[in-house]
Amino acid sequence: MKLFGITGGIGMGKSTSARLLTERGVSVIDTDILAREIVEPGEPALEEIKNQFGAEMIGPDGRLRRDELARKVFADAAALRRLENILHPRIRNLWELEVGKWRDHGRVAGAVIIPLLFETGAQNQFDAVICVACSTATQQARLRERGWNDEQIAQRLASQWPVEKKITEADFVIWTDTPLEVHASQLQRILEMAGSSPSA
């Protein structure tokens, strides 16, 4: 099985790549989804977050107050590291288990979407790393469409490698300042070059 790691800057098109890969028969795990699942009520990670950051991080419904936690950790590098120490090992364990199942089932290709792929040292787990990127102007516009203000955008960007560094380290780059069909054709070309297109 050919295993791809997909990374890139915030708002640069990783989720779109995930959808396009799924449409092409590639097995996909999005670690952003795993990150949400492991902090559901009753999960050990949620209790650990409560112990580390205070009961005020949990709403009356027993669910994580994501906005409140984000305000706390993205303004404090040490707090962000504590949160990452809670989440990242659990997330990695889950996607590694799923990849093992793909291999057991003889899948042709798989992809794991990891925003902090290089930052967490996961690159050696993959046959190739794809960086999804776009211009700064497009990224800023997309993040503002999510309702983020300039301070929130700056804090999120400061918590990750610059996309230029990710591009340098990646095996392939997909540029998303393009129509959707061009994004799709770039992905398809990479799959074919790697000899891992399920339809090839």
Q: Are 51 and 58 in contact (CB under 8 A)?
A: no
Give the domains, in start order, of the chain with CATH numbers: 2-192 (3.40.50.300)
The 10s digit of each residue's pLDDT in 152-172 is 899 989 889 999 999 999 999
| pLDDT in the model for residue 2 | 94
Q: Are 9 and 161 in contact (CB under 8 A)?
A: no
Distances (CA, A) of 137 to 12, 35, 130, 200: 11, 28, 21, 36
| pLDDT in the model for residue 197 | 62
Beta strands in the chain (DSSP E): 2-8, 27-30, 109-113, 128-133, 172-175
Q: Are 114 and 122 in contact (CB under 8 A)?
A: yes
Mean pLDDT of the 112-133 span:
96
Task: Answer whether residue 53 shows pLDDT above 80.
Answer: yes
Adjacent-strand bridge partners of 70: none
Q: Are 83 and 39 in contact (CB under 8 A)?
A: no
pTM of the model: 0.91
Q: pLDDT > 70: what percent of the chain?
A: 98
Task: Answer whether residue 198 shows pLDDT above 70.
Answer: no
The 10s digit of each residue's pLDDT in 81-114 is 999 999 999 999 999 999 999 999 999 999 999 9
